[in-house]
Structure 1
Amino acid sequence: MTEKKLPNIYIYNPTCEIAIANGTLSFFPNKTLSKFEKDLDVLPLCFTDSNDVLLVRQMPDNDFLNQISAAGIKLPKFKVLEDALTDDEFVKTDKNSLQAWGWSPRIHHILKPFKTSCSSEYLAQPNAYWKDEHRDLYGRETALKVLKTFLNNHPDDIYIDQSQIARVCTNIQEIEVLIEEWKQLVIKAPLSSSGRGLQVLRYSHLNDSITQWINGTLEAQDYLTVEALLDKKYDFSLQYHCDGKGKLSYMGPGFFLTSSNGQYEGNILGGMPEYFKAYLSDAQMDELSNGIKSAMEESDLATNYCGYLGIDCLLFEDKSGKMRIQPCVEINLRYNMGTLALILDEYLAPNTSGAFKMIFKPKSTFDEFHKEMEKKHPFKMKDGKWLKGYLPLVSPYQNKNFGAYILLENTEE
């Protein structure tokens, strides 16, 4: 008789880095970020199996679930978080693991009632419980150490010069020295993500608002990282899974779209876009992904974290006009959109490509956007695969301000 597979419990909490920076169990995201978490809370369904449970802030509607199911995505069971926490039977039911989008003291505290019914294998993972030392793993110093290890092991001028990589600063005076050296620079908070928590300095001086931000961040997070402003051309990522025992497995690359100030807007689907291939050969991608994997396995990260993670990288043009690689801008220790894009790629028909995007409609709704896109780009499948058109990945029928969707095209259509 086949042993029944225990469910994994998923929850979407993209504010995990902000929660780590705050550090308190009572942290609560601001109104906009809370709406962001609520509106997009079904996104982990792309990772789930039919036996799993996805904890949500509101139940998804049947029209959306039918649409997603018809597209071939296996639906998990859904349970409202507040109800799950007060349901004694659910709390006590045997579970395999807890799969938060990202860990923080807050989400560990929220999910604590479920831990007593999780598997012993899960509870033996290094991040099954929050420890004070985990905070440092998520900070930018961890990414900087991995970058330095990689560059020491790969002294090739295709990669960024060590004189341009980030420096750790603990006061305004240290930042002013780097302004003199680099003129244009980027100042980043240790704990932030998706283009937030940073200041771009293009005019070689600190104005009052940036100075105030620096002092506030130093008070809250102890240090800042400061790096030379690069002439960035393209963003991409490397996606891994860490077993928590010192080994990482490479899942693949991600190619994403960002706004002018570096904020994430979406992921390209269908593999490496043609314009990347002129700058990143298969051999270079292999060297890069294997080298970063080795550098991470030498770090504390490999034995203190278990789960998915993404390395943000970029291609930039140096002052001589040569295209070079910054191989580790930051490390995202969580599920992330690059990982999600790799999962979505598995649904695509041959010769299909496109993008996964997230949008914010503060003065209207995702519902209105959906109606327009559904008419303009009807969704089509072929042989069980996604061929072309528009498909929402969160419900477009619940008055949401934030939305997520894919838009595909096929070269043979």
Structure 2
Amino acid sequence: MKIKGDLWLFNPHCELSILKEQQHYTPPKMIKKVQNDLSVLLAWLVGDGDSVLIEKQVVNKAWKELLHSVVGIDFKFVTSKEVKESKIAFNAVKSWGKSPSLVSDFHFLPPKYQQFYEWNRQLKDVFHRQFGYNILTYIIDNEVNRAISSTRIGKFCLDYQEVVNEIENVFIKNSFGVIMKLPYSSSGRGILVLKRNEITPSVQKWIESALNQQGSVLVEPLLEKEFDFSLLFKKHNNTIEFLGGSSFLAGLTGQYYGSGLNTFRSYFSDLEWESIMKIITLIKTKLKDEKRLEGHFGIDALVFKGANGERFIHPCVEINPRYTMGHVTLGLQKAVPLHKKAEWRIVTKHEVTDFVAFQKEMEQKHPLSIHLNKVQSGFLPLVDVNLVQNYYAYLLVEDEEI
């Protein structure tokens, strides 16, 4: 059985696998739940004839046909068992992010595919927060108007006392709070926020564990955030293409909740937009000769309020050297008319206890209208509600123009 196209894998645990440098890596239960429930979102990244690897075999036919009607290309959902038993062949293998564990993730494939996911140990440094920190300092050194100053970007600390001292220094200058980050983390994990200058036993344990496992901790001032956004790129050889930007919703520790569509430019003043354009140019300049970075990547950034209420840009909170939900957002935008206001969201069981009831209610409140492969208005489920357990995703297009 021959299928033209590529096989895609959603592996949100890639950063944690890189930290452990383990081929046979078992992700935490929470990350596994993200993978199982949201792997179908890769439908917004794939090309014509591609296949998306999913956990469950039976996908609701009506939902799949609805999805195909707006994605606008032919693609398939397949399981590892189906691939192995049917001996389906692919042109190439692609993943959300590169990692050592792709060897075990693709254990069901014959050896000829290993060329697509062989692990290069030099990539580990690209996934370390220091890599993004270096991009940030490069942008600051080039004096971008309204960009964050070097005094507000924090530092990497290598031992417990240095962490404690830096927390003290940050609170002296910034009463808003402190945020500590592990060098390798994913899906909002590995981040701790302190609103008070108090090292409790649990905080001490977190710091000591972080240093023991990863060797350093990034200690930063907690900024009074206005909104998050991402700048999305694709690099091939020494050429970097800016694909677009997206504003997004995120929790205090970085959990992704969704994004608005078609409104990115409207978030910025003309002066801020000039700075964004300069930041994009600087990112291209800084990374064009970086041999270890290849393919799609995203730069997470934010706009925050200063002490006097003025707005500043933090141009690189982190770099994600892989596909991101921002790239999914750009794919979703193609399914919505440019003049329509829309958003897509990811919700959890903590927010919506019954996904089936929620979907029925939203379908009744917001009837779906599709014309010429675009959602003109209404509610579109982005996952098969019968297959998800902890995470649900949907698109909502309002019947009004921007």
Give TM-score, length-normalised by structure 2: 0.90
> Residue 230 of structure 1 is aligned with which of 209, 213, 223?
223
> Which runs of structure 2 are paired with 1:237-386 in the superposition (5 Å)?
237-243=230-236, 245-272=237-264, 274=266, 276-278=267-269, 281-297=272-288, 302-361=290-349, 364-386=353-375
Alpha-carbon offset, residue 306 of structure 1 = 2.1
The sequence identity of aligned pairs, in percent, is 28
Check whether the contact 2:122–2:292 (CA below 8 A) recurs between aligned residues: no
Q: Give the match for residue 386 of structure 2.
A: 397
C-alpha separation in 2, matches of 1:40 and 1:180:
40
Residues 1:72 and 1:262: Cα distance change in structure 2 (over 3 Å): closer
> Which runs of structure 2 are paired with 1:61-210 in the superposition (5 Å)?
61-84=60-83, 86-87=84-85, 89-90=87-88, 93=89, 95-111=90-106, 114=109, 116-118=111-113, 123=115, 128-152=117-141, 154-183=142-171, 184-210=177-203
Alpha-carbon offset, residue 30 of structure 1 = 2.8
Any idea what SS the aligned residue of 1:40 has? helix
Residues 1:389 and 1:411: Cα distance change in structure 2 (over 3 Å): same
Check whether the contact 1:349–1:382 (CA below 8 A) recurs between aligned residues: no
Check whether the contact 1:351–1:410 (CA below 8 A) recurs between aligned residues: no
Is 1:9 the counterpart of 2:1 in the alignment? Answer: no
> Residue 38 of structure 1 is aligned with which of 36, 40, 44?
36
Residues 1:104 and 1:185: Cα distance change in structure 2 (over 3 Å): same
Q: Give the match for residue 174 of structure 2.
A: none
Any idea what SS the aligned residue of 2:121 has? coil
C-alpha separation in 1, matches of 2:101 and 2:55:
16
C-alpha separation in 2, matches of 1:399 and 1:286:
39
C-alpha separation in 1, matches of 2:15 and 2:296:
15
C-alpha separation in 1, matches of 2:255 and 2:139:
26
Is 1:408 the counterpart of 2:397 in the alignment? Answer: yes
Task: Render the CA deviation track for 1:221-270: whole Å, top value 9, x for unaligned.
Answer: 11111112212111101000121x23321101110012344421111111
Alpha-carbon offset, residue 271 of structure 1 = 3.0
Residues 1:67 and 1:272: Cα distance change in structure 2 (over 3 Å): same
Is 1:19 the counterpart of 2:7 in the alignment? Answer: no
Task: Render the CA deviation track for 1:101-156: whole Å, top value 9, x for unaligned.
Answer: 112111233326647445xxx94x8xx4212222221010100111111222x224
C-alpha separation in 2, matches of 1:160 and 1:72:
39
Give TM-score, length-normalised by structure 1: 0.88
Any idea what SS the aligned residue of 1:10 has? strand
Alpha-carbon offset, residue 58 of structure 1 = 1.0
- Aligned residue identity for 2:220: E
Task: Render the CA deviation track for 1:284-334: whole Å, top value 9, x for unaligned.
Answer: 321121112222225xxx311322111000111122332111100001111
Alpha-carbon offset, residue 187 of structure 1 = 0.7
Task: Render the CA deviation track for 1:354-412: whole Å, top value 9, x for unaligned.
Answer: 11111111583422221111111111123442111110111013353311111111325
C-alpha separation in 2, matches of 1:196 and 1:399:
21
- Aligned residue identity for 1:71: V
Alpha-carbon offset, residue 46 of structure 1 = 1.4
Unmatched 5+ residue regions in structure 2? Answer: 172-176
C-alpha separation in 2, matches of 1:294 and 1:355:
32
Divergent runs of 4+, >6 A: none
Check whether the contact 2:167–2:219 (CA below 8 A) recurs between aligned residues: no
Check whether the contact 1:230–1:316 (CA below 8 A) recurs between aligned residues: yes
Task: Render the CA deviation track for 1:172-226: whole Å, top value 9, x for unaligned.
Answer: 1111221222113211001113432111122122211111111112111111111
Any idea what SS the aligned residue of 1:304 has? coil
Task: Render the CA deviation track for 1:50-96: whole Å, top value 9, x for unaligned.
Answer: 42121111132212101212334324122212442x34733xx3x33
- Aligned residue identity for 1:63: A
C-alpha separation in 2, matches of 1:115 and 1:368:
42
Residues 1:325 and 1:412: Cα distance change in structure 2 (over 3 Å): closer
C-alpha separation in 1, matches of 2:401 and 2:207:
52
Check whether the contact 2:382–2:393 (CA below 8 A) recurs between aligned residues: yes
Check whether the contact 2:10–2:96 (CA below 8 A) recurs between aligned residues: yes
Unmatched 5+ residue regions in structure 1? Answer: none
Residues 1:203 and 1:171: Cα distance change in structure 2 (over 3 Å): same
C-alpha separation in 2, matches of 1:318 and 1:291:
24
Aligned residues: 394
